[in-house]
Structure 1
Amino acid sequence: MCITVVGSINTDIVALTDDYPLRGETIFGKKIEFLPGGKGGNQATAVAKLGEKVNIIGSVGQDLYGDNVINTLKKNNVTTKFIKRSNEFATGTAIITIDQTAENTMLVLKGANDDLLPADIENAFFKLQESKVLLVQMEVPQETVIRAMQIAKEKGMYIILDPAPAEGITMKALEYADVITPNRQETKHMIGIEVNDIESALHAARTFEKMGVKNSIIKMAEKGSLVYQSGQWEYVKAIPVKPVDTVGAGDAFAGALACGIATGKDLVSAVEYATIVGALKVTKLGAQTGIPTLDEVNKFCEEKNISQTKLEKSR
């Protein structure tokens, strides 16, 4: 059983500070880290750390940063043979600032991610062995994402669209997705609905349904998630934790959701699992280094007395 992730691979330059500088202002920060990142890389790492087989299709530069991120993915048991080495662009970079509340701002330089082309997707899928779930986001070219979803649909794969970041969203991708997972910002960007409670999340889900998306997970951060399936809905509460770094929390959630679907969980149970993994992620620094392993998830559930069946690797 395998999951395929199509998406971005970056180096994250993370600066920790008590407060954000005002425009034109210079302040002193606390710490800087150079960490592996990118939504595709983060989500593939989450899948691998949670014990499932995963391929990543992405693009990095012919540079040291590209070498480093590939080596890190390999160490985390992600299959990297479908990563393209671009001759034209440097490895993508995200410049991230995290303040004392653990909230973040990002400036993403896409670099080699823009060199992941539909032809690269076709070549990779031709060589791919059986894969049950496709997980995509919007940090690589839109036509590349669409082509991946089209081929996955032809192969009968379950397609999860994480429509992030908001700036990269293409509404055309909605027609190929089996489920979408927008957060509050992405929901507002796509359909103009401000989500702040269950009622507004339900309104957003029903609006997506009118657009042809029968299944959606409306994420509301500390307010939990609304899971909508063909007219039926359930609310999944957030798990309170002390946040350290929210970067990559949505990616950890997406990777865990893909694992849940691939191993036969129903959508609500998969979201409950993803909620646990996402909560654990924000307690640690680093979009990939902070993602918990399967053993850490099980231990957390036992310590917090969370009603979650002990999980086992499917392989």
Structure 2
Amino acid sequence: MEKPKIVVVGSSNTDMVVKVPYIPASGETILGTDFMTIPGGKGANQAVAAARAGTDVTFIACVSDDSFGKQAIENYRNEGIDTSCIKIQPGIHSGIALINVAEGGENSISVAPGANSYLFPEDIYGFEDVFEGAKMVLAQLEVPLETVEAAAEVAHEKGIPFILNPAPGAAIPESLLSKVTIISPNETEAAIITSRNEFSEKDVPIMAEEIFEKGGTTVLLTLGGKGVYLKTFDFEGIIPGYKVKAVDTTAAGDVFNGALAAALAGEMDLKEAVDFAQRAAAISVTRMGAQPSAPTLEEIQHVQF
């Protein structure tokens, strides 16, 4: 049976990961244990997660002609991802992320975007033909905002649902929100979108409502293991998550979004798709690494919690 097609627009990074006993404080040096170099980047993580979850993925991104970029493209091809729309930008480094992963699974991440900053709106318009036949378009914010806006515009013009994972957190212009079908911030990102300096658990429904009113879009406010606060025109409430022992939470949100796009592209009901995505994310945090942690469709369907 033919797989549904989605387009992912976003970043490609190489993650340099150190396992540490805890996240160091400012100015503190600590000794870690293991070091790994792992393919990452929010866009790439979501593209891989969606491909493993059963979709035909075209990835629009930008890498350098360095060894990291070449290896990244090879990795995507091995996942069955269409790499024909990955731009090669010579003379700059490919995206790099430095990640500390603590024993409890929490992490701290620093990103040097490199070539990701060279994915421009004109590149999106140049690749416009690949949007034809897509069931979903998925983007994040590790590439320039105007590039994300161009992707949203193309999706809007072609009548394709557009999922925005607003990470890293940033203020979102209403011109972009008006073209978003589903937005999936975590609590911190929701606070930034709603101009809050601080928030508590009681603010979650309020933030979801404010984001909904800004764009009239479906809001999936992710709460980690506690679940997802869903706000639509006809439903508002928490869809419970799954409690697991976390090993590495690095790409949990990316796996959630990739699996969500795959489920919706396969015409799954929204609430069922959210549950499907939460199952995928729960599996991912029990494994080390970003892309290596993304589960297959069979694993998502048959895992027992």
Q: TM-score, normalised by structure 1?
A: 0.91
In structure 1, the partner of 2:300 is 297
In structure 2, the partner of 1:11 is 14
Match 2:284 to one of 277, 281, 285? 281
Look up the equivalent residue of 1:57 and give its one-letter code.
I
In structure 2, the partner of 1:166 is 169
Quote the offset at 1:238 in angstroms: 1.3
Match 1:249 to one of 232, 252, 257? 252
Give the 3 Å change call, closer, same or farther, for CA 195–183 of structure 1 in structure 2: farther
Quote the offset at 1:119 in angstroms: 1.0
In structure 2, the partner of 1:118 is 121
Q: Distance in 2 between matches of 1:287 and 1:169?
A: 26
Quote the offset at 1:141 in angstroms: 0.6
Look up the equivalent residue of 1:287 and give its one-letter code.
A
Quote the offset at 1:126 in angstroms: 2.6
Q: Distance in 1 between matches of 2:193 and 2:214?
A: 11
Q: Is the 8 A contact 1:7 1:137 kept in 2?
A: yes
Q: Distance in 2 between matches of 1:28 and 1:167?
A: 33
Look up the equivalent residue of 2:183 and give its one-letter code.
I
1:49 aligns to 2:52 (yes or no): yes
Q: Distance in 2 between matches of 1:208 and 1:200?
A: 12
Alignment of 1:74-153 (within 5 A): 74-153=77-156
1:72 aligns to 2:53 (yes or no): no
Quote the offset at 1:299 in angstroms: 2.7
The range that moved more, 168-177 or 151-160, is: 168-177
Look up the equivalent residue of 2:245 and give its one-letter code.
K
In structure 2, the partner of 1:239 is 242
SS at match of 1:29: coil
Quote the offset at 1:231 in angstroms: 4.8
Query: Which 5+ residue runs of structure 2 have no aligned equivalent?
Result: none
Look up the equivalent residue of 2:47 and give its one-letter code.
A
In structure 2, the partner of 1:260 is 263
Q: Distance in 1 between matches of 2:173 and 2:296?
A: 32
Q: Distance in 2 between matches of 1:114 and 1:223?
A: 34
Q: Distance in 2 between matches of 1:24 and 1:215?
A: 41
Query: Which 5+ residue runs of structure 1 have no aligned equivalent?
Result: 305-315
Give the 3 Å change call, closer, same or farther, for CA 70–155 of structure 1 in structure 2: same
Match 1:27 to one of 15, 22, 30? 30
Match 1:178 to one of 173, 177, 181? 181
Q: TM-score, normalised by structure 2?
A: 0.94
Instruction: State the identity as a percent.
Output: 36
Quote the offset at 1:298 in angstroms: 2.3
Look up the equivalent residue of 1:234 and give its one-letter code.
G
Q: CA RMSD in A?
A: 1.6
Large movers: runs of 4+ above 6 Å: none
Give the 3 Å change call, closer, same or farther, for CA 201–256 of structure 1 in structure 2: same
Give the 3 Å change call, closer, same or farther, for CA 212–117 of structure 1 in structure 2: same
Q: Distance in 1 between matches of 2:60 and 2:39?
A: 16
Q: Distance in 1 between matches of 2:238 and 2:24?
A: 37
1:203 aligns to 2:206 (yes or no): yes
Q: Distance in 2 between matches of 1:208 and 1:167?
A: 13
Q: What per-residue deviation string (whole Å, max 9, x for no partner) do you get for residues 129-170 of structure 1?
A: 411100010000111110110011001101101011014755
Match 2:64 to one of 58, 61, 73? 61
Quote the offset at 1:228 in angstroms: 1.0
Q: Is the 8 A contact 1:206 1:231 kept in 2?
A: no
Q: Is the 8 A contact 1:131 1:157 kept in 2?
A: yes
Equivalences, count:
301
Quote the offset at 1:20 in angstroms: 2.6
Q: Is the 8 A contact 2:139 2:163 kept in 1?
A: yes
Q: Is the 8 A contact 1:179 1:213 kept in 2?
A: no
Quote the offset at 1:196 in angstroms: 4.4
